[in-house]
Structure 1
Amino acid sequence: MFPEFEVVPAVDMQDGQVVQLVGGERGTGKTYGDPVDAAERWLDAGARTLHLVDLDGAFEGERVNAAAIDAVLEAVGDAAAVQLGGGIRTADDAVALLERGVDRVILGTAAVEDPEIVAEISDEHPGSVLVSLDAKDGEVVVSGWTEGTGLDPAEAARRYADLGAGGILFTDVDVEGQLGGVRTDPVRRVVEAVDVPVVASGGVATVDDVVALRDAGAAAAVVGSALYEGAFTLAEAQAAVDER
């Protein structure tokens, strides 16, 4: 998983459309069109991995945008790796997606409610689970970022790595979607807690932010709003981390 640092475009879906939320708040989203069009755009731009999230699924607790996701998977084929989250609540759901062609499943709420699900899936599909730790005010939140858990992100990351997680997806919800820049200290804390790759998300506004996440130890950075708003191109961001 991520032998070299990657810039990973986000394709977050709500009501069958690409949406970027601000601060994780439902109803704050800006729409960016058809998910297949977005996926093909990022493939053409050189993406090696796509980050798909069923936002409705994250809020509702069940996969809602399955048809849109299936269309993206069909369009992507073997051209890029796909990691998918949002509404995946059982091991059977996760395994079915992995067998459908998803490379990594992202578990947030399900992993908090039943940590052993990480081991169960990982035993059958090693390296396939990316545990999502979304932090708000320094606390892991679940159910579409609406419920606190009392968990410290770094401590939780260590626990899931011990259970066999292939990597950790750390999202800084406090800066998510705001194009205001990243905070590297929370990322660094999670990176230093585990030996598995950490994918950072939230706040990227410039290519310097991407480089800062790389320098903080992240194995990849998920970027959404900055790419959709044209703050920089995927090629520019990837070149920046490759050259510096």
Structure 2
Amino acid sequence: MSTDANEGRGGFEEFEVIPAVDIQDGEVVQLVQGERGTEKTYGEPVEAARRWIDAGAETLHLIDLDGAFEGERENAAAIDAVIDTVDVPTQLGGGIRTAEEAIDLLERGVDRVILGTAAVETPEIVAEISEEHPGSVVVSLDAKDGEVVVEGWTEGAGLSPVEAAERYADLGAAAILFTNVDVEGRLEGVATEPVRELVEATEIPVIASGGVATLEDVRALADAGAAAVVVGSALYEGTVTLAAAQDAVDGTE
């Protein structure tokens, strides 16, 4: 990969493949296009976390899916168990609605908090948290048909990812987590153009998520300028391995 493609990656010195540990009802699951009732379960969260660390994960992506839908952190105990067990950086989202809660999580050992609904409804929360813990806020911009969606991907926010990214960069966000809900969990490939547009529109790193099924998908997102990619279903189903996914990009640099 060219040096130019690595510019603007902020805290990500090199492109990183981040395993997803999405938790619903205390179990690791993967949803198709974010819809409840489509989930496939993959066991216990601490076991999954250890598996990915043993496979070489440098960061874990933890999501409380019940929290994302209900607005309260329903899987706090399971997530606390993961944080207490692992020795790699973690980024946590789902049900974090206040600055106080985010700051408490950061002080308890979470490295980055992911804000979706809270950031859209109350943008100043990003600045409030970032002032106390610089570099700790990832804003989640989840999009369906080109529109940012909130409340567990059930409600449109009336703005595009590019419009939103510009706002949060100014408020001190450390990165944007962009999930393309249209391809999420389907294992049918990625859409790179929305990622490229977002990368070009903001100075902060863009973490891509949604649709990765092959090593070519990982390379395509890296080539689009993403600083990292979150991978879920493809890893759990074994269509790609973490080592191969990372090597696929490292080998092009």
TM over 0.5: yes
Q: How does 1:78-227 map to 2 (within 5 A)?
A: 79-227=87-235
Structure 1 residue 52 corresponds to structure 2 residue 62 = yes
TM-score by length of 2: 0.95
- The amino acid of 1:24's aligned partner reads G
- Matched residue SS, 1:38: helix
* Structure 2 portions without partners, runs of 5+: 1-10
- Matched residue SS, 2:36: coil
% of aligned pairs identical?
76
* Structure 1 portions without partners, runs of 5+: none
- The amino acid of 1:31's aligned partner reads T
2:38 is matched with: 28
Q: Tell me how far apart the structure 1 counterparts of residues 228 and 173 of structure 2 sit (CA, whole Å).
A: 16
TM-score by length of 1: 0.99
2:23 alignment partner, one of 13, 34, 45:
13
- Matched residue SS, 1:28: strand
1:205 Cα offset (Å) = 0.2
- The amino acid of 1:70's aligned partner reads D
1:232 Cα offset (Å) = 1.3
Q: How does 1:31-42 map to 2 (within 5 A)?
A: 31-42=41-52
**Structure 1 stretches of 4+ moved >3 Å:** none
Deviation sequence 1:188-213 (CA, Å, 0-9, x none): 11111111110000000001100100
- The amino acid of 2:79's aligned partner reads I
1:74 is matched with: 84
Q: Tell me how far apart the structure 1 counterparts of residues 66 and 188 of structure 2 sit (CA, whole Å).
A: 25
Q: Tell me how far apart the structure 1 counterparts of residues 16 and 34 of structure 2 sit (CA, whole Å).
A: 23
Q: Tell me how far apart the structure 2 counterparts of residues 207 and 96 of structure 1 sit (CA, whole Å).
A: 37
1:149 Cα offset (Å) = 0.7
- Matched residue SS, 1:80: coil
> What is the aligned residue count?
242
Q: Tell me how far apart the structure 2 counterparts of residues 88 and 151 of structure 1 sit (CA, whole Å).
A: 21
1:26 Cα offset (Å) = 1.2
- The amino acid of 1:23's aligned partner reads Q
1:238 Cα offset (Å) = 0.4
